[in-house]
Chain A
Amino acid sequence: MTVISAPTAPRRTWKNTALGRFFSSPRSVLGAGLLTLFVLLALLAPVLTPYRPNSMEFDAFMGFSAQHPLGTTALGQDIFAQFVYGARLTLLVGFVAGLIATFLSVTFGLAAAYFGGRIDEAINTLINVFLVLPGLPLIIVAAAFIRGGGVWPVILVIGLTGWAFGARVLRSQALALRERDFIAAAVVSGEGALRIIFVEMLPNMAGLIAANFFGAALYAVLSEAALSFIGVGDVSQVTWGTMLYWAQAKGALLQGAWWWVALPGLSIALLGTSFAFLNFAVDEISNPRLAGGRLNLPSRVPAAVAAPVAGDALLSITGLDVGYAAPTGVVRAVRDVTLDVQPGELLGVAGESGCGKSTLAFAATRLLDPPGGVLGGSVRLAGRDLLALSPEELRRVRWKEFSIVFQASMNVLNPVLTIREQVYDAMQAHGVTDRDRLNTRARELFDLVGIQTSYLDAYPHQLSGGMKQRVVIAIALALEPKLIVMDEPTTALDVVVQRQILQEINAVRKRLGISIIFITHDLSLLVEMSDRVAIMYAGEVVELAPAHRLYAHPAHPYTQQLMNSFPPMTGPRTRRSGIPGRPPSLSAEIIGCPFFERCNTRMPGVCDVQPLQTFPVAENQTAACFLYDPAVPAAVKESAVKDSADRAGVVRAGAVRDSQTVLATRPRPSSPGGES
């Protein structure tokens, strides 16, 4: 049994924790600061002022003085006392009504999502009814009926009417969670409904619920202010809203006591702002993608002007370095990659997830978005440096000179336009406007990729996944580009449809003489269809060889081990082993060979010390492996290969003991040492 070494934990710096993210955002700090200030005012009211907010023992409209820092009202109340005591009730309304509304939202939203069926339908109807009822007028009517009794009726009315929007949001979030496999896994483990709702689902919605709470509290504070201002509710209570009511009723502005209006009004606005900021901050923490912090990448260092020796190459990528800016530093996803594509050639690029193959495709076609960026190198298509083109020049070249087909590209089809309009679109953008020519070309293209032309007038949803992918390939062919970059174009498709599409791609390529870069994780597929294959590992091209050569004599130990990782379709059923371990982190500097840790023929003292280079192995075959370095003594190489054979023997013996089955191992495709 393979034992995988423990991974090193990702660095958990302060900034990476939820609290750290909270405090590093100016919005959340401002929101929390304001709220804290108001809460302190409310709590410390008796300390801050000696007066009761309702005692009318003073003269009316007194100005600022030491006794009355903010003067008095028309009724002879101390404005500062009213302000700090008013904060108490206003905050109470916000928090309690927010809690009631959030509690109702969570209960109804989760119950609807978890139980589904009739219960869901009933709750959903209720939600919709509450959503179409106009909120504030409903509150006014309800509050008008229950006059008096302090601030509680207002709280109840706001809480009971303000939950519907939150419930709808939480319901859809919970429905999405309900479909996740970890919920099914909990059911299969035997967990009960309550535990699944409260321990598996609810914590995953904590961010949304908190955001919902702040939203509801904001709504409650504003509603209370509005209600009090128009005199609905209990105006004998001191809240910021009733302060506004009395200030308005007693003509504060006419008397020049503008601060009587401004202070509660501004405070309500600030409290609302703090709730809104906190709502946003919580959203940002639970969904880091929203944070969108700008991270800077060093700008590109163009490769030294490559002498146009390989003048016959259609595309030449030279020393391409691509990185992603991450909080912990730059992740170098593509490292010094040099590749070229000949006219009419199908170049396969294979590698596992995270090896940089898709990043390479995005960078070479100028589709890389921030936080990704090209750090160095050049990409020349027919002699033109693609990385140096202006956006307008790029627009003219893209699709005419090269086009791109992606894995999920069937999702790029616009669902409300017919296929015909979308096929025309690319051609029209490049100046073909004649309807007859467009029609003829569209029909030609559909014949080429094997779809009946009657589908031109269908909408995307009427087509299967395989047909949509064919449409996308047809669009990519529309302007007869010289090069098509295909990134896992058939991975999402079933094997039969995949085979049909590959046959068509190959036929089209032969007929039109275009070049294709075909990127996939499926090496066995690639070996069947490519002229040459590049194997990528940890951002580097570790082997480049003609497909038949790579199949018969893989040179790099990674290629060899990868080829051996596919279970065979013929011959005796035997145990094989995969590649232990995992690729190195791309955010760290890799010294020596990136495959060293997992390699079965590594040479300590060489591979983990010397800077990696690419060495020729045979004609047209290169490998980034020190086994092919003429400077490394033959004895060192031989002992590495011998050790590997010995280790394989030990593994075999272990496997026999484990499973009590006699297993044979397939002889390795070639002996790597023997090639050099």
Chain B
Amino acid sequence: MIQPEAAISTDPEAVPHTLEIVGLRKVFGARGNAGGVVAVNDVSFSIARGEVLGLVGESGSGKSTIARLIAHLHTPTAGEIRVNGQPVPARLRGAALRHFRRQVQMIFQDPYASLNPLHPVRYTLSRPLKIHRLSRGTMDAQIGALLERVGLAPASTYASKRSFELSGGQRQRVGIARALAASPDLILADEPTSALDVSIRLDVMNLMLDLKDQEGLSMLFITHDLAGARYMSDRVAVLYAGTLVEIGPATEVIDRPQHPYTQLLKSAAPKPDAGLVPEEIAARGEVPDLKALPPGCPFEPRCPHAMPECRSGLPQMYDVGHGHTARCLLHDPAIRLNRGGAVGAG
């Protein structure tokens, strides 16, 4: 059955969104006013309590940078990040930083790189508990409970192990337990399954979904895999060259993509359930240089529907119904009228 979609509330009296980012921008390597790589270009979205937002894009699309900006590992060039309705200042220190770290936790892509090979699992999991003064009862019992929650039982066997004694899936479970230890409100999961074997991926994704359901966690699930995003997410956002091009309910965005880039992405993806005949794709060129983005829509140079209008400024997000918006002029009512048709669903 389809998982319940989180209602996107506009009522100001309602519970604040766990995460809101507004006009987020990150330029790397800019000296003064000159150049620099625009990794994230004016991105805005929000994640409601208990919601999973899938963030989809290819390498270099800025999806990991967004997670690192939210996690306060990088400082935004511009824009605002709000956690539980509270703006996060650009410089966080001391108690305010600790408080922020407790609310926002992260799961990393490569479970082989994200655990210090020298520390046993017990140490890795004890640190968040100590830093955030969350010890209740004995430390060992708490660590045991954490390990069992992520499916590593018997906990006593795993607590003393170092990362090289664990398989990839087990390491990623430890990474998830570390993120859970601080009982955060928001988990940023940066491609948590792409380094894992196919047969293990589903169980790790299921674990994350179970934990989300049990704890009411909000989650940003970053992936390059459309099928994985569809499996995990309530809503899906698609990034291209640092720009948000489409966002909406997962089944809407992936089953009926409205932006030509999302349509390309979908037709290029292997479809295990769609038969044996691969789709032919006709994309031109490659992702633009982030130092010299096209003046208008970043996808215009490759887009099969490109029009002269696409080159004059970044298009706005157009509402295409069902809480689904796409940044494409084909959905501009005036242009639709001119062309006398809509862009077909991929």
Taking the complex as formed, is B11 at the interface, i.e. its CB lies under 8 A from any CB of chain A? no
Contact A568/B224 with A2-B151, A659-B210 known, Cβ cut-off 8 Å = no
Contact between B203 and A577 (Cβ–Cβ < 8 Å)?
A: yes
Chain A 512-556 interface mask (CB, 8 Å, partner B; 1/0):
000000000111110111000000000000000001100100000
Nearest chain B CB to A524's CB is how many angstroms away?
4
Interface-side segment among B12-20, B105-113, B311-319, B331-339? B105-113
Interface-side segment among B39-47, B80-88, B152-160, B322-330? B152-160
Chain A 462-474 interface mask (CB, 8 Å, partner B; 1/0):
0010110000000
Please, which residues of chain A bring their CB within 8 A of the CB of B128?
189-190
Taking the complex as formed, is B6 at the interface, i.e. its CB lies under 8 A from any CB of chain A? no
Taking the complex as formed, is B59 at the interface, i.e. its CB lies under 8 A from any CB of chain A? yes
Nearest chain B CB to A382's CB is how many angstroms away?
30
Interface-side segment among B28-36, B115-123, B135-143, B290-298? B115-123
Contact between A500 and B198 (Cβ–Cβ < 8 Å)?
A: no
Taking the complex as formed, is A572 at the interface, i.e. its CB lies under 8 A from any CB of chain B? yes
Nearest chain A CB to B291's CB is how many angstroms away?
14
Contact between A496 and B272 (Cβ–Cβ < 8 Å)?
A: no
Bound together, the chains give a CA A352 to CA B200 distance in angstroms of 10
Contact between B276 and A204 (Cβ–Cβ < 8 Å)?
A: no
Nearest chain B CB to A529's CB is how many angstroms away?
6
Contact with B175, one of A185, A352, A502 (Cβ below 8 angstroms): A185
Contact with A497, one of B105, B106, B168, B286 (Cβ below 8 angstroms): B286
Bound together, the chains give a CA A203 to CA B118 distance in angstroms of 8
Contact between B127 and A189 (Cβ–Cβ < 8 Å)?
A: yes
Interface-side segment among A5-13, A308-316, A624-632? A5-13
Contact A573/B250 with A547-B276, A578-B199 known, Cβ cut-off 8 Å = yes
Taking the complex as formed, is A188 at the interface, i.e. its CB lies under 8 A from any CB of chain B? yes
Contact between A522 and B270 (Cβ–Cβ < 8 Å)?
A: yes
Taking the complex as formed, is A653 at the interface, i.e. its CB lies under 8 A from any CB of chain B? no
Contact between B213 and A661 (Cβ–Cβ < 8 Å)?
A: yes
Contact with A500, one of B2, B197, B269, B281 (Cβ below 8 angstroms): B281
Bound together, the chains give a CA A430 to CA B165 distance in angstroms of 47
Contact A561/B199 with A189-B178, A494-B58 known, Cβ cut-off 8 Å = yes
Taking the complex as formed, is A107 at the interface, i.e. its CB lies under 8 A from any CB of chain B? no
Taking the complex as formed, is B26 at the interface, i.e. its CB lies under 8 A from any CB of chain A? no
Nearest chain B CB to A89's CB is how many angstroms away?
37
Please, which residues of chain B bring their CB within 8 A of the CB of A527?
272, 276
Taking the complex as formed, is A635 at the interface, i.e. its CB lies under 8 A from any CB of chain B? no
Nearest chain A CB to B122's CB is how many angstroms away?
14
Please, which residues of chain B bring their CB within 8 A of the CB of A237?
none
Please, which residues of chain A bring their CB within 8 A of the CB of B210?
1, 658-659
Interface-side segment among A145-153, A176-184, A248-256? A176-184
Bound together, the chains give a CA A660 to CA B210 distance in angstroms of 10
Smallest Cβ-Cβ distance to A548: which chain B residue? B276
Bound together, the chains give a CA A565 to CA B117 distance in angstroms of 30
Please, which residues of chain A bring their CB within 8 A of the CB of B168?
353
Smallest Cβ-Cβ distance to B197: which chain A residue? A352
Smallest Cβ-Cβ distance to B254: which chain A residue? A569
Please, which residues of chain A bring their CB within 8 A of the CB of B109?
181
Please, which residues of chain A bring their CB within 8 A of the CB of B204?
578
Please, which residues of chain B bring their CB within 8 A of the CB of A576?
202
Contact between A190 and B98 (Cβ–Cβ < 8 Å)?
A: yes
Taking the complex as formed, is A426 at the interface, i.e. its CB lies under 8 A from any CB of chain B? no
Contact between B230 and A7 (Cβ–Cβ < 8 Å)?
A: no
Taking the complex as formed, is B69 at the interface, i.e. its CB lies under 8 A from any CB of chain A? no
Taking the complex as formed, is A226 at the interface, i.e. its CB lies under 8 A from any CB of chain B? no
Contact between A496 and B274 (Cβ–Cβ < 8 Å)?
A: no
Bound together, the chains give a CA A325 to CA B92 distance in angstroms of 52
Please, which residues of chain B bring their CB within 8 A of the CB of A188?
71, 73, 101, 104-106
Nearest chain A CB to B255's CB is how many angstroms away?
7
Bound together, the chains give a CA A130 to CA B167 distance in angstroms of 45
Please, which residues of chain A bring their CB within 8 A of the CB of B182?
189-190
Contact between B276 and A551 (Cβ–Cβ < 8 Å)?
A: yes
Contact between A565 and B201 (Cβ–Cβ < 8 Å)?
A: yes
Chain B 237-277 interface mask (CB, 8 Å, partner A; 1/0):
00000000000001100110000000011111111111011
Please, which residues of chain A bring their CB within 8 A of the CB of B283?
496, 500
Please, which residues of chain B bring their CB within 8 A of the CB of A572?
1-2
Taking the complex as formed, is B170 at the interface, i.e. its CB lies under 8 A from any CB of chain A? yes
Bound together, the chains give a CA A582 to CA B152 distance in angstroms of 14
Please, which residues of chain B bring their CB within 8 A of the CB of A503?
278, 280-281
Contact between A562 and B199 (Cβ–Cβ < 8 Å)?
A: yes
Bound together, the chains give a CA A661 to CA B113 distance in angstroms of 35
Contact between B151 and A574 (Cβ–Cβ < 8 Å)?
A: no
Contact between A578 and B271 (Cβ–Cβ < 8 Å)?
A: no
Please, which residues of chain A bring their CB within 8 A of the CB of B269?
495, 499, 569
Taking the complex as formed, is A579 at the interface, i.e. its CB lies under 8 A from any CB of chain B? yes
Smallest Cβ-Cβ distance to A664: which chain B residue? B1
Bound together, the chains give a CA A118 to CA B102 distance in angstroms of 30
Please, which residues of chain A bring their CB within 8 A of the CB of B199?
352, 561-562, 565, 578-579
Please, which residues of chain A bring their CB within 8 A of the CB of B230?
567-569, 573
Contact A580/B270 with A188-B71, A497-B286 known, Cβ cut-off 8 Å = no
Bound together, the chains give a CA A320 to CA B251 distance in angstroms of 47
Smallest Cβ-Cβ distance to B111: which chain A residue? A181
Please, which residues of chain B bring their CB within 8 A of the CB of A547?
276
Taking the complex as formed, is A65 at the interface, i.e. its CB lies under 8 A from any CB of chain B? no
Bound together, the chains give a CA A522 to CA B279 distance in angstroms of 17
Taking the complex as formed, is B226 at the interface, i.e. its CB lies under 8 A from any CB of chain A? yes
Smallest Cβ-Cβ distance to B104: which chain A residue? A188
Smallest Cβ-Cβ distance to A494: which chain B residue? B58
Taking the complex as formed, is B345 at the interface, i.e. its CB lies under 8 A from any CB of chain A? no
Nearest chain B CB to A126's CB is how many angstroms away?
24
Bound together, the chains give a CA A548 to CA B281 distance in angstroms of 22
Contact A567/B202 with A10-B165, A191-B127, A353-B197 known, Cβ cut-off 8 Å = yes
Taking the complex as formed, is A480 at the interface, i.e. its CB lies under 8 A from any CB of chain B? no
Bound together, the chains give a CA A1 to CA B269 distance in angstroms of 29
Bound together, the chains give a CA A523 to CA B265 distance in angstroms of 19
Contact A567/B151 with A185-B106, A500-B281, A659-B210 known, Cβ cut-off 8 Å = no
Residues 139-197 of A contacting B (Cβ, < 8 Å): 180-182, 184-191
Taking the complex as formed, is A663 at the interface, i.e. its CB lies under 8 A from any CB of chain B? yes
Taking the complex as formed, is B169 at the interface, i.e. its CB lies under 8 A from any CB of chain A? yes
Bound together, the chains give a CA A523 to CA B198 distance in angstroms of 9
Nearest chain B CB to A260's CB is how many angstroms away?
50
Taking the complex as formed, is A305 at the interface, i.e. its CB lies under 8 A from any CB of chain B? no
Contact between A569 and B273 (Cβ–Cβ < 8 Å)?
A: yes
Contact between B151 and A3 (Cβ–Cβ < 8 Å)?
A: yes
Smallest Cβ-Cβ distance to B97: which chain A residue? A190
Contact between A185 and B206 (Cβ–Cβ < 8 Å)?
A: no
Residues 28-76 of B contacting A (Cβ, < 8 Å): 58-59, 68, 71, 73
Taking the complex as formed, is A198 at the interface, i.e. its CB lies under 8 A from any CB of chain B? no
Taking the complex as formed, is B209 at the interface, i.e. its CB lies under 8 A from any CB of chain A? yes
Please, which residues of chain B bring their CB within 8 A of the CB of A416?
none
Nearest chain A CB to B286's CB is how many angstroms away?
5
Taking the complex as formed, is B114 at the interface, i.e. its CB lies under 8 A from any CB of chain A? yes
Taking the complex as formed, is B10 at the interface, i.e. its CB lies under 8 A from any CB of chain A? no
Nearest chain A CB to B183's CB is how many angstroms away?
13
Bound together, the chains give a CA A569 to CA B270 distance in angstroms of 9
Contact between A496 and B58 (Cβ–Cβ < 8 Å)?
A: yes
Please, which residues of chain A bring their CB within 8 A of the CB of B116?
182, 186, 200, 204
Taking the complex as formed, is A662 at the interface, i.e. its CB lies under 8 A from any CB of chain B? yes
Contact between B231 and A573 (Cβ–Cβ < 8 Å)?
A: yes
Taking the complex as formed, is B131 at the interface, i.e. its CB lies under 8 A from any CB of chain A? yes
Bound together, the chains give a CA A411 to CA B73 distance in angstroms of 30
Smallest Cβ-Cβ distance to B158: which chain A residue? A6
Name, among A4, A203, A498, A528, the residue most crowded by chain B CB atoms within 10 Å (CB to CB): A4
Contact between A563 and B167 (Cβ–Cβ < 8 Å)?
A: no
Bound together, the chains give a CA A662 to CA B1 distance in angstroms of 6
The 7 tightest CB contacts between A and B, nearest first, are A578-B202, A567-B231, A524-B272, A499-B268, A190-B101, A579-B199, A181-B114
Apart from A7-B165, A352-B197, A577-B203, 4 more pairs, CB < 8 Å: A2-B151, A10-B165, A185-B108, A566-B273
Instruction: Give me 7 A-to-B residue pairs in the complex whose CB atoms sit less than 8 angstroms apart, sorted by A's number.
Output: A2-B207, A3-B151, A569-B266, A569-B272, A573-B2, A658-B214, A661-B3
